Amino acid sequence: MSEMQSRVATADGPPDGPAKPVNKGGDLTQIQIIWRRFRRHRAAMISLVLLGLIVAFAFLGPLVWPWGYTVDSDIPSNAGPSLEHPFGTTKQGTDVFAQTMRGAQQSLKVALTVAIVSTVVGATWGAVAGYYRGRTDAIMMRIADIFLIIPLIVAVASINGAVRGGTTWYAVALIMCLFSWATVARVVRGVVLSLREQEFIEAARAAGARATRIIFRHLLPNAAGPIIVAATLLIAVAVLTEAGLSFIGFGIQPPDISLGKMVESARTAAFTRPWLFYPPGVLIVLICLTINFIGDGLRDALDPRQTMVRR
Amino acid sequence: MLVYTARRLAVAIPVLLAASVLVFLMVDLSGDPLSDLRMQQPPPSEEVIAAAEARYYLDRSIPERYWLWMTGIGGNGDIGLLQGQFGPSVRGGAFDIGEELSDSIYVTIRLVTAAIIAALGLAVLSGVVSAMRQYSKLDYTLTFIGFLALAMPTFWLGALIKEGGLWFNQTTGTGFFFTIGANSARVSNMTGWEYFLDSAGHLVLPTITLMLTSFAAWSRYQRTSMLEVLNSDYVRLARAKGVPNRVVVRRHALRTALIPLVTVATIGVVGIIEGVVITETIFQWRGLGYFFIEAVKAQDAFAIMSWLMLSGTLVVLANLVADILYGVLDPRIRYE
Amino acid sequence: MQIRRKMLGAAAVGVSAVLAVSACSPPEDGAGGGDATSVTWIISQPGSAWNHNTPEGGSVYLIQMVHGILPVPGYWSPEGQWEWNTDLIVNEPTLSEEDPLSWTYEINPDANWSDGEPITADDFIWAWKMNSGDDELCAEQCNSRGATLETLFESVEGSEDGKTVTVTMKEGSQHPGWFTFAGDGLYPSHVAEAEGFDLDTPEGMLESSNYFNDNPLTISGAQYIFDGAPELDGRIVKVANEEYYGEQPEIQEIILEVNTEESSWVAALTNGEVQGSSPATWSDDVLTQLESLENVEYGVQSGGSWEHLDLNTQNEALSDVALRQAIFTAIDVENIATRTYGEKFPEVEPRTNHVFSTTSEFHEDVITPTGQGAGDADAAMEILEEAGYELDGESLTLDGEAVPALRLRYTAGHVAREIIAELIQADLAEIGVTAEIETTDDLGGTLFEADYDLMIFGWSTTPDFYSSPHQYWFSESGSNFGGYSNDEVDELVEAAMNVPSPEESAVLANEAAAIVAEEAYVLPIVDTPAYFFYDTTYLGNVTDNNSQSRRALWNQHEWAAVE
């Protein structure tokens, strides 16, 4: 693909006048262009298929699998893998295969929530700050800095007891959002700062467009490339962070379950009951690996600066 | 530059303060640190509980507690960050927060330094090799290893690495690797060489665990920036002029390509803080990570706050240093 | 190579341990590099403060750490019998017959602290004042974690240069556990005096209590002494005390290492970095790994705590005794015991008495006669139908109104309680009662606010049971979280603390337990087993002792070094 092509697609506006670089008519072809470029990234394509399978496993699997993820008195205690229970069973008498599906589902829910909420909040915040510049920018970014200073793992751990009635997936997700939107805000602000100086924005301003319109109709869509990449990678980060939190005892708590929680519960079982330790761990690795490759593919497809390098 | 630094620091202080207020609130809302005391069997008398509340300033309101923690004015002389006091620990007087914190720093700094040096060295090496042999088998392999390391939960990786160390010990019949602690108990009787071996044996496995994530991220970065430079006009020009490849890479390309990595790595120090918490748990080091976990378990507000101020300051400084370094290394950037 | 036993089988273990040891190969070179008389032992949690009489210091971990440093008048044997420490006390103290009750210790004339100062009545007096709860003796009650025995003392006096100690109780007072006085260890009062505290003033006593809380002892009155700077949250090195007045221990150096990461223990053990532990937690996986190791001896027995299900009587639905009885009847305790601990400890049994485990000589089964814990849904339904409840489809109703869902809570991350909660939930579903599982991060807070309908938690068992029934069930007790109130029980539990012998106290405790069982307030579930392990290439003659907080360390001075 040519360097020119990719530039037109994302960052720079068309050279002539106030035409919107992203418009309804152009959307389809643009997505097609991106898709075509994405498809060329073989690892990303394989990853996309694999991730699709994992998502189906997590969300559709429980609908067809005969066992639930909770204790069932018909399930033997501590049994190794068998045809009936492919990943074996726990001491309590739960089917690890069903638990893995449920755990993957909860982990993905946490990760998607974190990615979507912090991207929406962070992108808006960063775009507004970057658009207004000056004092507004300074104050807004200092507020974001407050959340950047506090390591996420620390924040979640310290707030732990405050979550009354047990730590469920959405409680964990919301706290993680609170401390990850600022990263996105910073990235988007940087992009917007350079975008706002470009002609199509100046033209929109000259044509009398209001600030909100410029931010949401012009700036954000044009910063979509870096935002989408950041959001994608955030999913992987969130899965890992949730797992790390579970490990030090501050993540999702039973009866809710997640992949991280499963590995945590099985931390002493690596050699004695490997069926408890490996499936959730391998699934975490697979989710993160595929998402990283997809992110890489998206970067190639969306980000011209990167594409310049990776020809 | 001096003015710039001073201004940045002046802005950082209110941010740090606001962060401390936020965490103070969170810790305060997270529960009663004396609930364990009340739970004891037989239960302590009301008088003892009241004395404990007074001793740990739990009888004051939240704003008052924060004010005390910061200034120490109106306290019993054991509190007030501005006076160099970290406040009393709810775990009792034997736990001196300041002293424990500095002991922990001493332990952790060894681990973090080793990990950063190893991660940087390996990242540059693999990044450069990857870029030079772009799209070769080696590049793909290194890329895959990097992605794999990025996808592994630290604690899972740590468990595997520990097993690797044990396997090495068993197959070679030596006791080189240790799996817990930062040093053996009897270091005072050791010769210098024995002490070195003991420290190294304890250090290697946690260092590998801690560095892998950073290594993976940084090597990706190094590869990208190296490619960028290799494709730049001036490198092409140097090549066209007939400068030998080795010289081009070492003198022209690598030096320029290191600039972004330096800044990224400086900021990346922050990410290592999180890794330290988990690594120190797996290998049972008594460093900052352990300090933090135990403080949270005990709901020891002043200990958590001290820890946060330390890590917060580190983050602020790392960002500042990164910005300044960027300017020093890249003369095109000027500070207003 | 494994030994399983109940508490009473200790003697047999001693023999088999020696046999096992003699069959072992010598330690391999290079594995950890420790010499045979230095042993590293894992402590599973950090301590907080150095004075075991205070709330911060009063943990089993601290008591393990200062064991062998502080002299003790006596201790509980593994069988739950009190034995006097004949190194320190040369007579056999007995309780006087007439009121006020008193007894006398005769201290070994050679018994000195390692700095040469004698161990005297002053040290006993300090222990009394410390826990007296009397503001005239101790300001702010010396930050004592609370005791019942010492508050009943009229005086502790020394004679014969302080080598004879006479303890006199207040008139009309008696306590079944009088002999346990200072059982966790005596502190050196002369050290406090040398620091400038006037122990005859309440303020001086408080200062000395704080001093001992904040600083580790640099001297010793028993077999070992701290070497270097011991760390409550890290590593503690104890070496043999050369000034000890009794027999010298064979193991010259015991290093205690705090290690909170269960999954690292077996790796460190096989790597020669540690030689054993008697952890406070339970793990099937650690035991499975130990099974496969050569040169490692380990054992499992009923432990120092027991799990139970508490009901909150302030919940309107649960104020009905019939519903409570039905809930307890529907729960299959046998199944719970097997599923929680049965795999690694097949001898596990349901607990059938709130105060005594089955191994106690005072044990009476108060649960089985009531039919509770049987997992009998039909019997439970019978009780309910008699009381006017109806099973409407899947849910239980009373007078047309559905019985509300009950919140079943336990400490987050506690594996056994997680299993118990899930099994109880399944059992209750059979009688139409919905239990919603909710974990808590703050057990103390949840209990104090009675923020639960059903609660699973543990109490510790000690041979020193006399005040336990009072704590559990006395209507005004701060630990009677579910708000149980019964005048007859109040009388019984008060009386149980105020008799001169354990036997009399036990009779009253059992009577109270039977009433509580009948009214279905607390359902005992299972005694938590505990395990210990050690590397036989280093050590011999190690036995566990669940009657003491010190666990397997209890006879560390009798451990044998393996050449």
Whether the per-residue pLDDT at A311 is higher than 80: the answer is no
Question: pLDDT tens digits for B306-316?
Answer: 988 888 888 88
Q: Phi-psi region for residue C142, left (φ > 0), alpha (ψ -120 to 50) or beta?
A: left
- Please indicate if any CB of chain B lies within 8 Å of the CB of C459: yes
A91 contacts C339? CB cut-off 8 A: yes
Q: Which of A159-168, A181-190, C109-118, C139-148 has the lowest mean pLDDT?
A: A159-168
Question: pLDDT tens digits for A255-310?
Answer: 778 888 888 888 888 778 888 888 899 999 999 999 988 888 887 787 655 443 33
Instruction: Give the mean model confidence (pLDDT) for residues A64-74.
Output: 78
Average pLDDT, chain C: 87
Instruction: Give the mean model confidence (pLDDT) for residues B28-43.
Output: 75
What local confidence, expressed as pLDDT, does residue A303 receive?
Answer: 62
Residue numbers in A near C415 (CB within 8 A): 91, 265
Nearest Cα residue in chain B from A160: B30
Name the pLDDT band for C525 (thresholds 50, 70, 90): very high
Q: Residue C541, exposed/middle/buried by CB under 10 A (0-12, 13-18, 19+)?
A: middle
- How many CB atoms are closer than 10 A to CB C239? 19
What local confidence, expressed as pLDDT, does residue B332 receive?
Answer: 60
Q: How far apart are CA A45 and CA B129, in angstroms?
A: 26
The neighbouring-strand residues paired with A95 are A89
Nearest Cα residue in chain A from B318: A149
DSSP code for B45: P
Interface test with A, best of C260, C282, C284, C285 (most A CBs within 10 A): C285
Question: pLDDT tens digits for C41-88?
Answer: 999 989 889 999 988 888 889 999 999 999 999 999 988 889 999 999
Residue numbers in C near A165 (CB within 8 A): 438
What local confidence, expressed as pLDDT, does residue A27 receive?
Answer: 55
All structural domains of chain C? 2-50+223-301+531-561 (3.40.190.10), 69-214 (3.90.76.10), 303-528 (3.10.105.10)
Residue numbers in C near A272 (CB within 8 A): 284-285, 288-289
The percent of residues in chain A predicted with pLDDT above 90, rounded, is: 14
Neighbours of chain B (3+ CB pairs under 8 A): A, C
Instruction: Give the mean model confidence (pLDDT) for residues A28-36.
Output: 77
Nearest Cα residue in chain C from A264: C413
C440 contacts A91? CB cut-off 8 A: no
Interface test with B, best of A40, A42, A149 (most B CBs within 10 A): A149
Q: How far apart are CA C409 and CA A165, in angstroms?
A: 9
Nearest Cα residue in chain B from C44: B284
How far C265 CA lies from chain A's nearest CA (Å)? 9
B40 contacts C214? CB cut-off 8 A: no
Instruction: List Cβ neighbours of B282 (8 Å cut-off, separation of 6 or more).
Output: B155, B158, B159, B162, B206, B209, C261, C264
Name the pLDDT band for A115 (thresholds 50, 70, 90): very high
Residue with tokens 């004679």: C159
Whether the per-residue pLDDT at B336 is higher than 80: the answer is no
B31 contacts C445? CB cut-off 8 A: yes
Say if residue C100 is preceded by a cis peptide, omega within 30 of 0.
Answer: yes
Q: How far apart are CA C128 and CA C512, in angstroms?
A: 30
What local confidence, expressed as pLDDT, does residue A283 receive?
Answer: 92
How far B169 CA lies from chain C's nearest CA (Å)? 8
Q: How far apart are CA B157 and CA B212, in angstroms?
A: 9
A270 contacts C263? CB cut-off 8 A: yes
How far B192 CA lies from chain A's nearest CA (Å)? 36
- The reported pTM is 0.85
Question: pLDDT tens digits for A119-157?
Answer: 999 999 988 988 888 888 888 988 888 888 887 777 777
Residue C391 — φ and ψ, nearest 5°?
-95, 110
A150 contacts B19? CB cut-off 8 A: yes
- Strands C276-277, C522-535: parallel, antiparallel or unpaired by DSSP? antiparallel
Q: Which of A200-214, B96-110, C107-121, C376-390 has the lowest mean pLDDT?
A: A200-214
Instruction: List Cβ neighbours of C160 (8 Å cut-off, separation of 6 or more).
Output: none
| C9-13, C96-100, C271-275: range with highest mean pLDDT | C271-275
Q: How far apart are CA B246 and CA B291, in angstroms?
A: 48
**3-class DSSP assignment, residue C4:** strand
- Please indicate if any CB of chain C lies within 8 Å of the CB of B92: yes
Interface test with A, best of C334, C441, C453 (most A CBs within 10 A): C441
Instruction: Give the mean model confidence (pLDDT) for residues C298-324.
Output: 89
Residue of A145, A146, A285 with shortest CB distance to B151: A285
Question: pLDDT tens digits for B186-216?
Answer: 766 778 888 888 888 999 999 999 998 888 8
- Please indicate if any CB of chain C lies within 8 Å of the CB of B168: no
Instruction: List Cβ neighbours of C52 (8 Å cut-off, separation of 6 or more).
Output: C58, C62, C63, C66, C70, C184, C185
Q: How far apart are CA A59 and CA A106, in angstroms?
A: 9
Q: How far apart are CA C142 and CA C139, in angstroms?
A: 6
The neighbouring-strand residues paired with C164 are C106, C159
A292 contacts B147? CB cut-off 8 A: yes
What local confidence, expressed as pLDDT, does residue C42 receive?
Answer: 94
B166 contacts C271? CB cut-off 8 A: yes
Interface test with A, best of C260, C261, C263, C265 (most A CBs within 10 A): C263
As a residue count, chain A comes to 311
Nearest Cα residue in chain C from A162: C441
Q: In chain A, which among 136-165 make CB contacts under 8 A with chain C?
A: 160-161, 163, 165
What local confidence, expressed as pLDDT, does residue C105 receive?
Answer: 95
Residue of B152, B153, B308 with shortest CB distance to A154: B308
Q: How far apart are CA C492 and CA C509, in angstroms?
A: 7
Whether the per-residue pLDDT at A251 is higher than 90: the answer is no
Q: How far apart are CA C547 and CA C149, in angstroms?
A: 19
C345 residue type, one letter: F
Nearest Cα residue in chain A from B223: A309
Whether the per-residue pLDDT at A178 is higher than 70: the answer is yes
Question: pLDDT tens digits for C373-384?
Answer: 998 999 999 999
Q: In chain B, which among 161-180 make CB contacts under 8 A with chain A?
A: 163
What local confidence, expressed as pLDDT, does residue C20 receive?
Answer: 34
ipTM computed for the complex: 0.85
What local confidence, expressed as pLDDT, does residue C498 receive?
Answer: 86
C438 contacts A165? CB cut-off 8 A: yes
B273 contacts A270? CB cut-off 8 A: no
Name the pLDDT band for C455 (thresholds 50, 70, 90): very high
CA distances from A73 to A92, C426, C427 (A): 9, 8, 10
Name the pLDDT band for C9 (thresholds 50, 70, 90): very low
B214 residue type, one letter: S
- Strands C435-440, C235-240: parallel, antiparallel or unpaired by DSSP? unpaired
Instruction: Give the mean model confidence (pLDDT) for residues B254-258.
Output: 79
Q: How far apart are CA C194 and CA B329, in angstroms?
A: 62
Q: How far apart are CA B181 and CA A216, in angstroms?
A: 53
Residue numbers in C near B91 (CB within 8 A): 48-49, 56
